[in-house]
Amino acid sequence: MTKQQAARLALGYFAKAGIVLTEAERRNIEVADFGLGELERTGLQLLVYVNTERVCAKEMVLFPGQTCPEHKHAEKEETFRCRYGQVRLNVEGRDVILNPGEQYTIYPDTKHWFRGGPEGAVISEFSTKSTDETDIFTDERIIR
């Protein structure tokens, strides 16, 4: 699957979750393959609405079985809220399953990864300032 195909597919997931996007937002969906070239297994589709010095809001799509790999943030606190499907969130080795309407907060310096369920997932993230380039991944091959 190409990044363009993944972005188009993500639009369908946003529609399933009832998330309305502007035309500019539809064009700005980011597809992250983390430099591994295995997007269907390891990757993430996301749209950042706002990212200021104090707050960040974004929407994320995971395809069925697609995983955002284990990482941590030195300073960022984030809350994930499941909007569609199911998310398996692993926090420091403990599984947390999120269904639509459920949420979980991850505090700074906490290792975590998350995976889309059988139908995939749409997740809203509300956090302090996001600096993706400073994420600390367990797998050193990962490029963000």
Q: Whole-model pTM?
A: 0.92
Per DSSP, the chain holds a count of helices (H) and strands (E) of: 2, 9
Which homologous superfamily does the CATH classification assign to the domain defined by 3-131? Jelly Rolls (2.60.120.10)
Tell me if 67 sits within 8 A of 90, measured CB to CB: no
Instruction: State the average pLDDT over residues 94-113.
Output: 97
Q: Domains of the chain: which residue ranges? A: 3-131
Question: Would you say residue 115 has pLDDT above 90?
Answer: yes
Mean pLDDT, the chain, as a whole number?
A: 94
pLDDT on residue 135:
83
Instruction: State the average pLDDT over residues 53-81.
Output: 95
Question: Would you say residue 136 has pLDDT above 90?
Answer: no
Q: How far apart are CA 18 and CA 55, in angstroms?
A: 23
**E strands of 27-77, at which residues?**
30-32, 44-51, 56-62, 67-72
Question: Would you say residue 129 has pLDDT above 70?
Answer: yes
